Amino acid sequence: MDPDEALLEVEMDMQKAVDHLLHEFSSVRTGKASPALIENMDVYVRAYDSVMKLKAVAVVTTPEPRMLMVQPFDPSTTQDIERAIRESKLGLNPSAADRSIRVPVPELSEERRREMAKLIKQMGEEAKVSVRQVRKEGMDAAKKMKAENVLTEDGQKVFEEDVQKLTDKSVKEIDLHVVAKEKEIMKI
């Protein structure tokens, strides 16, 4: 494997870990209504006897700042969607009305804000673990390229330093996102 190609792969994998974290953050409740809060939720649909993402069985909109509106494509899935939202760890209480489900997003209590901040930190740590795993794979690739005489000893050292720089950059980016999301949650 070419060292430049390997380094690019390490960088892309680390960026995927950061992007995944940001995607996970979108499902964390911040006290304001956002379709991203529930649209990736798994819903067991009895009519189809399968688990599907909410956005695959319904449209989620925000008609008001503190309200989500879920409109199922198939009205027979309304109860399944309502149950999935109610049983989620988000603390939401949906109510079915006609051909839609109204989901009020209540103000977060101080205790719930702290729980969410803790969850954010945990997600950040998981992302850092992913980045470190990619770092380990990069270091192993450097050793392998050295063994195959693709890299010299000095080349291996430079490659490993570059991998470490990418790791430091990704960890710093994760920390910045975690702090920003915590501030967003703790805002009153």
Window from 24-38, 58-72, 112-126, 140-154 with minimum mean pLDDT: 24-38
Question: What's the chain's average pLDDT?
Answer: 88
Instruction: Say which CATH topology domain 3-26+109-186 has.
Output: Topoisomerase I; Chain A, domain 4 (1.10.132)
Domain 35-104: which CATH class?
A: alpha beta
Pick the closest to residue 120 from 22, 15, 40, 17 (CA basis). Answer: 22
pLDDT band of residue 112 (cuts 50, 70, 90) is confident
Per the model's pLDDT, the better-predicted residue between 27 and 130 turns out to be 130
* 50 within 8 A of 84, measured Cβ to Cβ: no
CA distance 139 to 68: 46
> How many residues belong to the chain?
188
Per-domain residue ranges of the chain: 3-26+109-186, 35-104
Q: Taking the model in full, what pTM does it have?
A: 0.70
Please identify which residue in the block is written with the tokens 């995927």: 16
Q: What confidence tens digit (pLDDT) does each residue in 40-60 have?
A: 888 888 878 888 888 899 999
